[in-house]
Amino acid sequence: MTIEVNPRNASENNLEALERGRAYCAAHHPHLEAALADRYDARLPGFSQSLVEWAYGRHYSRGGVDAKTRQLATIAALTALGGQTAPQLKINIEHSLAVGATEREIVEIIWQMAVYGGLPAAINGLNAAMDVFDAQNEQ
């Protein structure tokens, strides 16, 4: 059985996964779990908890690489993946600015994707970034 692998760590880490996710969200996106629960949980039980546990408890809060690099790498992937990820790309551009990435760093990473995902992906990504920058500068 797998339970011997890491017996003490297991329940602790499990507790930490959702807790770490919630702590991360409390600091960075305070109303996220409640908003997700309102919108999705009646139809898909446990959705909000699962997302917070996985994305924030099991990824963004891991350490091992700094938050800004993690965010810029996410932007790279969402740009390269293209259309299906447009809403998430804008959110992650906001998150990248929030953890200290500059506008220049963000467009550099997006434009780099012209090499790997093609010009349409990169240009659509640049347009998303400029929409976010313009919206923030208007505030």
Closer residue to its own copies in complex, CB, 55/94 = 55
Min dist. Cβ of residue 40 to its own copies (A) = 6
Task: Supply angle C-alpha 88, 101, 104, rounded to 5.
Answer: 95
Q: Which residues contact 133 (CB under 8 A, 6 or more apart)?
A: 103
Min dist. Cβ of residue 139 to its own copies (A) = 18
Min dist. Cβ of residue 100 to its own copies (A) = 12
Closer residue to its own copies in complex, CB, 9/139 = 9
Closer residue to its own copies in complex, CB, 87/136 = 87
φ and ψ of 46, to 5 deg: 85, 0
For helices 119-138 and 86-98, the axis angle rounded to 10 degrees is 50
